Structure 1
Amino acid sequence: MPDTDAAALTADLIRCPSVTPEEGGALVVLEQMLTEAGFDCARADRGGVANLFARWGEKGHPRSFGFNGHTDVVPVGDRAAWTKDPFGAQIVDGVMYGRGATDMKSGVAAFAAAAVDFVRDTPPDGAVILAITGDEEGDAVDGTTALLEHMERTGEAMSVCLVGEPTCPDEMGEMMKIGRRGSMTAYFTVTGVQGHSAYPHRAKNPMPAIARLMDRLASHRLDEGSDHFDASTLAVVTIDTGNPANNVIPAQTRATVNIRFNDHHTGAGISDWLRAEADAVAEAFDVRIDMDVKISGESFLTPPGPLPDLVAAAVKAETGRDPVLSTTGGTSDARFVKNHCPVVEFGLVGKTMHQVDECVPVEQIHQLKAIYGRILRDYFA
């Protein structure tokens, strides 16, 4: 039987318009392929989001290699700006174009193809699991978390997990992720008393208070970094008042900050610090400051050891490069998986992800499949 063509599967997935939260047919394509290859498949849909769980091998086997990925994609944006059909999977000069070509339908296709060939050619003593969501690019509330809850309810488990996000900045094989920074956003509302700008003593101006608070937060250095993480960062991303009149002191203003934090902190600890800073400014300016915090994920690390070594060795064998063990970048669904089992990330070069004319060299898809196949062989050897 011929090897499974990861590039052809990538094209099939790209042709499915699966913009979050639409399934678009992508998981149907995967489920049919995996079922025909002997995988037990189940849907773990929740909240209008489609999710697919697939397992080859014994349920609950203590040696189960898992893969986590997503078939949903970000919106196309200005379609007129695309030179190729964003859902056409057109190949020009060896490069495949389409939304999701890099992030991350190619990664899902590469692992699915590698897994199908692996269990057919060298059936392992263990299980191979795919947990594929349609809600990574959105709020991620009903995606990988729903899959993990499905696994807990049904007695399924992964011993280790690989997430297929694009991890390489410029060249295939140069970087893998062994952790991610935590991410949180804080929303501040400062309320004073509206008044005439010619009579400021009759008002309570929230503007100096928000300016002072944002300056205090932005000027504070959270830390100097840690063994595996860069220094934590805080960015003031907006201050909004909406006051068009130059003779009116507004009653209220709002501001938002985004924080990416390392393993020196927790979301709760930073929230406490933000609240204390807001309270101090509120008292100094005699205004009220309300705060709402959304923690997208805590920082985590899979320390150098068996799983990172396994993936790094496979990458080196197939690309000739020793991947940097990195914790840079934004968030990924690995932040959910890390509560279930050890997790690392490795995938394609991500230079065109979310861009107009997103694309991937076809050869890189085949190379990624080879890396994933070697990881599976080495894990079960």
Structure 2
Amino acid sequence: MLDPVALAQSLIRCPSVTPAEAGALDLLQRELEGLGFTCHRLPFDGDGTERVDNLYARIGSTAPHFCFAGHTDVVPVGDAAHWTVDPFAGTIENGTLYGRGANDMKGAIAAFVAAAADYLKDRELQGSISLLITGDEEGVAINGTRKMLDWLKARGEVLDACVVGEPTNPRLFGEMIKIGRRGSLNAEITVIGAQGHVAYPHLSDNPIPRMLKILTALNERKLDDGTDHFDPSNLEVVSIDVGNTAANIIPAAVTARLNIRFNDRHTGASLIDWLREVCEMSGGAYELRPHISGESFLTAPGHLSDLVIHAVHDVTGVMPELSTTGGTSDARFIKDACPVLDFGLVGATMHKVDERASVADIQALTKVYRLVLERFFVK
């Protein structure tokens, strides 16, 4: 059996900080082609963004088609001097694998490749297995999964189910499966006034009071009470900037940035309309620059979630919770192609110094993925 821990170590040793490929996809391609997968490298660029390399690998040509999605890109390590190990060495100490990407999400990719290898070794596949691996999940997410899905659609390839290997467990392996995600909307609001001397306010237009009026109205509105599967939507103001270094000048403009994490009671478009309405009510000139990172979505509990729930329980004895908490993942794009959920390792140290994953958890995740494949293809 292919060793998932050794493969995870090799992937960690590729310093694939977004958008660098750094050999991670080359390594995966060699492993997958050795298992009989047909691999396609899919570099995309444009839209004013950096070029990103991606990998699509498939074995089989018929339905049903099970896809595993993930990303080899990782976030920067920060100050490497704060790490207790080399962040790209793949060090194992006391049963724990250390390194950037250990749980987010090179450990899960390695687990799935090992699970697929074990599943395929003694059988003729009745269907198709694929891996959709991007190098753009931790970046702007423009030249990765979204464009890969467009490429698949143009080829007439249909996915029947997908598991994304994001780290979904807060503390204990097996405790949580993500069956949906909140939407995310970023917005920048600039209120425009007229600069002037503070001693002559009638000759200027101070934009700050109008900005305070806007932010107060936004903050005071309760967006919703949540739903059966989602927490209440939440707006957070993350920055207010004037850029004024003088005490005797009324500024010409003030800019605020905010983020809304929203459930399926809203859409990005409906929230933008609301932001614009509040800005209009304040009076005066303003600019609104919104960006929707992803819409909320839910894969209703059913066949796919049942497969993963029972596989997790059989391997760990834990009955996982179905959740929609946390940030976004590339499942927000895949949900338009097929039922999708996220399940991976414990994410307590993702993006942190000394990111790490339990060796036992990587091995358990391999067993979970192996059971999911076995049961998915049962007629």
Normalising to structure 1: TM-score of the pair? 0.97
Determine the structure 2 residue equivalent to 1:185.
186
SS of structure 2 residue aligned to 1:123: coil
Q: Deviations over 1:29-70 (max 9, x none)?
A: 000010011001111111111100000111xx2300000000
Q: Deviations over 1:288-334 (max 9, x none)?
A: 11101000000000011111111111011111111100000010000
Query: Would you say the 8 A contact 1:45–1:146 is kept in 2?
Result: no
Paired letter, 1:43: R
1:269 aligns with 2:270: yes
1:306 aligns with 2:306: no
1:348 aligns with 2:349: no
SS of structure 2 residue aligned to 1:363: helix
Query: Would you say the 8 A contact 1:44–1:146 is kept in 2?
Result: no
Determine the structure 2 residue equivalent to 1:32.
30
Determine the structure 1 residue equivalent to 2:48.
none
Counterparts of 2:361 and 2:63, CA distance in 1: 32
Counterparts of 1:23 and 1:267, CA distance in 2: 32
Counterparts of 2:158 and 2:114, CA distance in 1: 21
1:56 aligns with 2:68: no
Counterparts of 1:121 and 1:57, CA distance in 2: 15
Paired letter, 2:157: E
Q: What count of residue pairs does the alignment treat as equivalent?
A: 373
Gaps of 5+ in 1: none
Counterparts of 2:124 and 2:254, CA distance in 1: 62
SS of structure 2 residue aligned to 1:102: helix
Counterparts of 2:19 and 2:260, CA distance in 1: 26
Determine the structure 2 residue equivalent to 1:174.
175
Q: Deviations over 1:70-116 (max 9, x none)?
A: 00000010011111001000111111111000100001110011112
Query: Would you say the 8 A contact 1:180–1:329 is kept in 2?
Result: yes
Query: Would you say the 8 A contact 1:168–1:347 is kept in 2?
Result: yes
Query: Would you say the 8 A contact 1:53–1:129 is kept in 2?
Result: yes
Counterparts of 2:25 and 2:124, CA distance in 1: 24
SS of structure 2 residue aligned to 1:124: coil
Determine the structure 2 residue equivalent to 1:220.
221
Paired letter, 1:330: G
Paired letter, 1:203: S
How far 1:26 moved relative to its partner?
A: 0.3
Determine the structure 2 residue equivalent to 1:145.
146
Determine the structure 1 residue equivalent to 2:357.
360
Alignment map for 1:155-174 (pairs within 5 Å):
155-174=156-175
Determine the structure 2 residue equivalent to 1:211.
212
SS of structure 1 residue aligned to 2:151: helix
Paired letter, 1:166: P
Alignment map for 1:1-381 (pairs within 5 Å):
3-47=1-45, 48-58=51-61, 61-281=62-282, 283=283, 287-381=284-378
Counterparts of 2:158 and 2:18, CA distance in 1: 26
Counterparts of 1:124 and 1:309, CA distance in 2: 22
Q: Deviations over 1:143-165 (max 9, x none)?
A: 11121112112222211000000
Counterparts of 2:213 and 2:238, CA distance in 1: 15
Paired letter, 1:312: I
SS of structure 1 residue aligned to 2:121: helix
SS of structure 1 residue aligned to 2:236: strand
Paired letter, 2:94: D
How far 1:123 moved relative to its partner?
A: 2.8
Paired letter, 1:20: T
Gaps of 5+ in 2: 46-50
SS of structure 2 residue aligned to 1:290: strand
Counterparts of 2:257 and 2:333, CA distance in 1: 25
Query: Would you say the 8 A contact 1:7–1:362 is kept in 2?
Result: yes
Paired letter, 2:360: E
Q: Deviations over 1:116-147 (max 9, x none)?
A: 22122233210001000000000000011121
Counterparts of 2:121 and 2:146, CA distance in 1: 30
Counterparts of 1:62 and 1:374, CA distance in 2: 19
How far 1:198 moved relative to its partner?
A: 1.0
How far 1:359 moved relative to its partner?
A: 0.8
Q: Over aligned residue pairs, what C-alpha RMSD do you find?
A: 0.8
Query: Would you say the 8 A contact 1:177–1:326 is kept in 2?
Result: yes
Counterparts of 2:191 and 2:353, CA distance in 1: 39
